[in-house]
């Protein structure tokens, strides 16, 4: 089966552009050529940007399965042609049997349990979210969107470099689970390598069942049964009712403004929308346009300072808004001005803690995220792996001639998620439970700490950094969409692309290619991109880092901070960009 299997559309798609169209072309960007080609095929077959995004996401789950798939979740922003914005929350939920202390043994947190194996899995949300996308804003029949992913899984495809590398990196953990071994190993001892043909017949069959029978097959039928029985047989707690109770949710998109533009972000359980809005508001009073070009030391300095403050707030205040009250006043402009009142143009601030937004009781401020008082030094337990090593998750984006735009971030969390494949289904399950704060001050796989707001709870969604973002101009028309993969680096990468486009007046390709920094409050250091060996000219120069060190910042170099995809509209033309840090494909035609 191929593109021709996409059911012909019988509606009215204009062959030529009508004068009332916003753009004269359509655009797609993903991290894998097969996914981008699938999206373009769907657009050409009469589908809209929503159909194209669903098809691409399904293909990514087959060809880029260490990053995302139907065993995981997603957050989706859709700007519909009529101007309406949809925020569809397909974040995984903790089992109804989950408890706050489920990852403690003898009172001590055991991060291995939330990071790998059956206890790490939360109820997947991607299928439910894609079904909502299709129902609310898609055009083509649900079934037709599965054609490419079914075919590629069945026929096989050459494993990409990142799939080969990520299997090699996770061989030990993957080999613990029979079905994972059967798929990702050529023989008992030889894992699949780059270029090997990866055939996934079970996954193909699973996709066909969901295409034919709808999401019920996944949530109320055979998949839910097979998955929960298997997970329980190897020590996990997900059960069939967790699947039956799962719902993708329609959220209120988070709207803020920046220099005359409207910024549409994803609300909690994402922290991304909230903190991008916070940081943009903190930055608005600084001459960022001038600094990006003429004073990069000032630009990076102020970025580091707003990142510290936003991530300190994240660690304290953010969690699933259906379970905890997240103060709206975190976005209050006076509060954010106050957060930056101690900003010094040539000195790094010390001992940043979360703020107290208006309306919150002012007591003795305790840094709950580390269990330490504010004056204490950094918690000695905080020795996470370098976040630069973590590159999973995927962001894809599509826009069509009608004016529908999609920003969709999908994830099974870290590479190959829990490493657990459900036998007979080909579905790799997420390890999204690790995005909870398993104990106050205990860093997760990304070194993030959290407080009670993001504690584990039954049915609760773990806090995410995924930041699908759409920017509208003063007329309310879309001009930019961007998002990223990379755990907490997502938030800062998305911010930096927005600043380079809106303030720096760079095109989307330059903005995404430009070197980035990352600071997440804990640990107390900043990563900067150093492409030495591949493209030294695009690295942040050592001389600049020295100036910033003289202000008191501490640095560590990284060969890549986040993977970002975006689409930009300039007048009536769209351009799409995939991140040059990976082997993707972006098309605008």
| CA–CA–CA angle 228, 234, 240 (5° rounding) | 10
Residue closer to ligand DON (CB basis): 132 or 413: 413
Q: Taking the complex as a whole, how short is the minimal distance between the CB of residue 89 and ligand DON, in angstroms? A: 12
Residues 489-528 as x/- pattern, contact with ligand DON by CB under 6 A? -x--------------------------------------
Q: How many CA atoms lie within 13 A of 20 on its CB side?
A: 4
| DSSP 8-state code for residue 64 | S
Q: Is 32:63 a contact under the CB 8 Å cutoff?
A: yes
d(CA 49, CA 72): 22
> In the set 167, 303, 453, 485, which binds ligand DON (CB under 6 A)?
485
Does 65 sit near ligand DON (CB under 6 A)? no
d(CA 333, CA 416): 40
Q: Which of 166-174, 247-255, 276-284, 486-494 is the region at the interface with ligand DON (rule: CB under 6 A)?
A: 486-494
> In the set 457, 486, 504, 560, which binds ligand DON (CB under 6 A)?
486
H or E stretch covering 261: strand 261-265
Residue closer to ligand DON (CB basis): 25 or 454: 454
Q: How many CA atoms lie within 13 A of 28 on its CB side?
A: 30
Residue closer to ligand DON (CB basis): 353 or 432: 432
Q: Taking the complex as a whole, how short is the minimal distance between the CB of residue 127 and ligand DON, in angstroms? A: 17
Residues 392-431 as x/- pattern, contact with ligand DON by CB under 6 A? xx-----------------x-xx-----------------
d(CA 275, CA 316): 13
Residue closer to ligand DON (CB basis): 109 or 125: 125
Residue among 71, 109, 107, 108 at smallest CA distance from 238: 71
Residue count, binding to ligand DON (CB under 6 A): 16
| End-to-end Cα, the chain, rounded Å | 25
Q: Taking the complex as a whole, how short is the minimal distance between the CB of residue 369 and ligand DON, in angstroms? A: 16
Residue closer to ligand DON (CB basis): 261 or 391: 391
Does 278 sit near ligand DON (CB under 6 A)? no
Q: Is 261:481 a contact under the CB 8 Å cutoff?
A: no
As a dihedral over the C-alpha atoms of residue 438, residue 124, residue 426, residue 176, rounded to 10 degrees, the angle is: 10
> In the set 391, 460, 500, 518, which binds ligand DON (CB under 6 A)?
391
Q: How many CB atoms lie within 10 A of CB 183?
A: 21
Q: Which of 3-11, 247-255, 463-471, 494-502 is the region at the interface with ligand DON (rule: CB under 6 A)?
A: 463-471
Residue among 502, 515, 500 at smallest CA distance from 579: 515
Q: Which of 40-48, 391-399, 453-461, 570-578 is the region at the interface with ligand DON (rule: CB under 6 A)?
A: 391-399
DSSP 228-239: HHHHHHTT----
d(CA 317, CA 271): 10
Q: Taking the complex as a whole, how short is the minimal distance between the CB of residue 494 and ligand DON, in angstroms? A: 12
Q: Is 410:72 a contact under the CB 8 Å cutoff?
A: yes
Does 466 sit near ligand DON (CB under 6 A)? yes
d(CA 60, CA 71): 12
Residue 534 annotated to the active site: no
Q: Is 84:476 a contact under the CB 8 Å cutoff?
A: no
Q: Which of 389-397, 471-479, 506-514, 516-524 is the region at the interface with ligand DON (rule: CB under 6 A)?
A: 389-397
Residue closer to ligand DON (CB basis): 61 or 486: 486
Q: How many CB atoms lie within 10 A of CB 221?
A: 17
Residues 6+ apart with CB under 8 A from 14: 21, 401
Does 465 sit near ligand DON (CB under 6 A)? yes
Q: Taking the complex as a whole, how short is the minimal distance between the CB of residue 587 and ligand DON, in angstroms? A: 24
Residues 6+ apart with CB under 8 A from 503: 259, 288, 289, 292
Does 275 sit near ligand DON (CB under 6 A)? no
Q: Is 422:179 a contact under the CB 8 Å cutoff?
A: yes
Q: Is 563:485 a contact under the CB 8 Å cutoff?
A: yes
Q: Taking the complex as a whole, how short is the minimal distance between the CB of residue 323 and ligand DON, in angstroms? A: 17
Q: Taking the complex as a whole, how short is the minimal distance between the CB of residue 565 and ligand DON, in angstroms? A: 13
Residue closer to ligand DON (CB basis): 148 or 435: 435
Q: Taking the complex as a whole, how short is the minimal distance between the CB of residue 436 and ligand DON, in angstroms? A: 11
> In the set 242, 435, 529, 579, which binds ligand DON (CB under 6 A)?
435
Q: How many CA atoms lie within 13 A of 358 on its CB side?
A: 10
Q: Taking the complex as a whole, how short is the minimal distance between the CB of residue 395 and ligand DON, in angstroms? A: 9
H or E stretch covering 396: strand 394-399
- Judged by CB under 6 A, the chain residues 158 through 197 that form the site for ligand DON are none
Q: Which of 145-153, 313-321, 390-398, 501-509 is the region at the interface with ligand DON (rule: CB under 6 A)?
A: 390-398
**Catalytic: which of 23, 370, 393, 397?**
393
Q: Which of 16-24, 239-247, 388-396, 453-461 is the region at the interface with ligand DON (rule: CB under 6 A)?
A: 388-396
> In the set 421, 442, 464, 568, which binds ligand DON (CB under 6 A)?
464
Q: Taking the complex as a whole, how short is the minimal distance between the CB of residue 575 and ligand DON, in angstroms? A: 25
CA-only gyration radius of the chain, Å:
22
> In the set 79, 261, 390, 522, which binds ligand DON (CB under 6 A)?
390
d(CA 73, CA 410): 6
Q: Is 251 in a helix, a strand, or coil? A: strand
> Which residues of the chain form contacts with ligand DON (CB under 6 A)?
390-393, 411, 413-414, 432, 435, 464-466, 485-487, 490
* Catalytically active residues, by annotation: 393
């Amino acid at each position: 089966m191929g593109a021709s299997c996409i059911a012909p559309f019988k509606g009215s798609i204009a062959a030529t552009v009508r004068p009332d169209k916003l753009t004269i072309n359509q655009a797609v960007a993903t991290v894998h050529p097969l996914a981008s080609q699938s999206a373009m095929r769907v657009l050409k077959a009469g589908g809209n940007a929503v159909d194209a995004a669903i098809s691409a996401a399904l293909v990514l789950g087959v060809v880029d399965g260490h990053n995302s798939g139907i065993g995981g979740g997603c957050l989706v922003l859709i700007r519909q042609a009529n101007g309406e914005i949809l925020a569809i929350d397909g974040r995984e939920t903790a089992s109804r049997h989950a408890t706050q202390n489920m990852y403690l043994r003898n009172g001590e947190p055991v991060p291995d349990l939330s990071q790998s194996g059956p206890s790490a899995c939360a109820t997947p949300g991607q299928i439910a979210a894609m079904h909502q996308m299709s129902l609310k804003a898609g055009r083509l029949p649900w079934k037709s969107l599965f054609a490419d992913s079914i075919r590629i899984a069945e026929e096989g495809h050459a494993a990409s470099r990142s799939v080969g590398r990520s299997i090699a990196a996770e061989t030990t953990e993957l080999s613990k689970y029979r079905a994972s071994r059967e798929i990702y190993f050529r023989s008992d001892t030889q894992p699949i390598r780059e270029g090997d043909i990866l055939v996934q017949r079970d996954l193909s069959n699973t996709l066909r069942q969901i295409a034919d029978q709808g999401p019920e097959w996944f949530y109320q039928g055979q998949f839910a049964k097979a998955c929960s029985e298997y997970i329980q047989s190897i020590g996990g707690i997900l059960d069939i009712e967790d699947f039956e109770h799962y719902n993708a949710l329609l959220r209120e998109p988070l709207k803020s403004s920046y220099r005359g533009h409207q910024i549409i972000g994803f609300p909690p359980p994402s922290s991304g929308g909230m903190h991008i809005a916070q940081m943009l508001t903190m930055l608005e009073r600084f001459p960022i346009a001038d600094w990006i070009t003429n004073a990069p030391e000032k630009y990076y300095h102020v970025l580091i300072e707003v990142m510290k403050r936003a991530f300190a707030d994240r660690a304290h205040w953010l969690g699933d808004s259906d379970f905890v009250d997240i103060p709206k006043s975190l976005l209050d402009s006076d509060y954010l001005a106050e957060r930056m009142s101690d900003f010094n143009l040539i000195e790094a601030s010390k001992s940043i803690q979360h703020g107290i937004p208006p309306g919150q009781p002012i007591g003795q401020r305790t840094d709950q995220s580390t269990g330490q008082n504010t004056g204490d030094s950094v918690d000695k337990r905080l020795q996470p792996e370098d976040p630069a090593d973590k590159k999973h998750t995927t962001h894809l984006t599509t826009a069509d001639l009608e004016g529908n735009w999609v920003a969709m971030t999908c994830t099974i969390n870290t590479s190959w998620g829990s490493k657990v494949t459900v036998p007979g289904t080909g579905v790799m399950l997420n390890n999204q439970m690790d995005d909870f704060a398993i104990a106050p001050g205990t860093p997760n796989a990304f070194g993030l700490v959290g407080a009670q707001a993001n504690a584990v709870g039954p049915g609760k969604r773990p806090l995410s950094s995924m930041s699908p973002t759409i920017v509208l101009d003063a007329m309310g028309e879309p001009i930019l969409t961007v998002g990223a993969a990379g755990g907490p680096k997502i938030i800062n990468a998305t911010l930096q692309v927005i600043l380079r486009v809106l303030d720096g007046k760079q095109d989307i390709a330059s903005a995404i290619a430009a070197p980035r920094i990352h600071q997440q409050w804990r640990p107390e250091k900043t990563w900067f991109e150093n492409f030495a060996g591949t493209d030294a000219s695009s690295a942040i120069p050592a001389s600049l880092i020295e100036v910033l060190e003289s202000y008191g910042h501490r640095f560590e170099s990284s060969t890549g901070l986040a993977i970002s995809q975006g689409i930009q509209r300039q007048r009536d033309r769209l351009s799409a960009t995939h991140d040059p840090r990976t082997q993707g494909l972006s098309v605008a035609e």
